[in-house]
């Protein structure tokens, strides 16, 4: 199966290293290429150009967000950025680099490095060969309280690494976890993951992580509680087999 970039006729850009990509994403000039299909909110594919190179990125403008009854209006793009920051605090490369910028074509929004991938690959057909990375995702989704972890939100990049996307409906202060990742329910958490959670618990209690600009104080406090609960229970949560614990559609 051809990569998404080939199917969509996207430009074939020369690759840049991760540090250069970080600078380009934060300071580069953005050009709209088109709108991504099948997205519930306005989502655009863009080229971001800097002095050292260029890259493809996904742009989600705040003005294009559909209001939701249970999330603050205009906050979804900030939650996308918060999820990437939490993954970075954990030391887990699970979310593509994501930033919030106010100098974009349709105003303030999130800008995330585009991941080229085979769109026929997703959680359900990647699980058997990548159980360890999906255990991390299972824990990560508890930490950020992901309300919409579909199978198709887990992608294998051209490098072979697996990333998660679409984190706009995370961090609610009330427990709303909806995910396809329940295979590990009841398992004891690996020691390495517990160690990373212990570090995260301390980091979240500091004031230098920048999350306070992205989520509310109540949401921040609730995330700390979820992390501490994982540390205390030392097991993956068990979901019930009902509509409240699974997203729809599943893929």
Question: What local confidence, expressed as pLDDT, does residue 4 receive?
Answer: 82
The mean per-residue pLDDT over the stretch 82-104 comes to 98
Separation of alpha carbons 176 and 7, rounded Å: 35
Does pLDDT of 243 surpass 70? no
Q: What is the pLDDT of residues 42-68, one digit of tens each?
A: 999 999 999 999 999 999 999 999 999
| Residue 228 banded pLDDT, cuts 50, 70, 90 | very high
pLDDT at res. 59: 98
Residue 73 has pLDDT above 70, yes or no: yes
Q: Is the pLDDT of residue 1 over 70?
A: no
pLDDT in tens, 131-186: 999 999 999 999 999 999 999 999 999 889 999 999 999 999 999 999 999 999 99
Least confidently predicted of 12-16, 33-37, 121-125, 239-243: 239-243
State what percent of residues in the chain have pLDDT above 90. 87
- Rounded Cα distance between 105 and 79, Å, is 20
| Domain parsing of the chain, residue ranges | 4-245
Phi, then psi, of 79 in degrees rounded to 5: -70, -35
218 pLDDT more than 70:
yes
Residue 12, pLDDT > 90, answer no
């Amino acid at each position: 199966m051809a990569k998404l970039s080939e199917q969509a006729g996207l430009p074939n850009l020369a690759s840049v290293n991760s540090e250069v990509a970080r600078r380009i994403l934060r300071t580069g000039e953005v050009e709209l290429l088109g709108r991504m299909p099948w997205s519930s909110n306005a989502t655009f594919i863009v080229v971001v150009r800097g002095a050292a190179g260029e890259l493809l990125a996904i742009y989600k403008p705040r003005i294009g967000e559909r209001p939701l009854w249970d999330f603050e209006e205009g906050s979804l793009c900030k939650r996308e950025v918060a999820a990437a920051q939490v993954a970075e605090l954990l030391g887990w490369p699970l979310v593509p680099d994501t930033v919030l910028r106010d100098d974009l074509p349709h105003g303030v929004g999130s800008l995330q490095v585009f991941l080229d991938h085979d769109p026929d690959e997703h959680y359900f057909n990647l699980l058997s060969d990548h159980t360890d990375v999906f255990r991390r995702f299972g824990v990560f989704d508890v930490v950020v309280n992901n309300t919409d972890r579909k199978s198709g939100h887990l992608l294998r990049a051209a490098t072979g690494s697996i990333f998660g996307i679409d984190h706009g409906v995370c961090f609610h202060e009330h427990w709303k976890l909806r995910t396809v990742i329940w295979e590990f329910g009841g398992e004891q958490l690996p020691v390495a993951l517990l160690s990373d959670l212990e570090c995260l618990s301390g980091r979240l209690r500091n004031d230098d992580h920048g999350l306070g600009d992205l989520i509310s104080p109540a949401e921040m406090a609730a995330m700390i509680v979820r992390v501490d609960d994982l540390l205390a229970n030392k097991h993956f949560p068990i979901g019930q087999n009902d509509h409240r614990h699974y997203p729809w559609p599943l893929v």
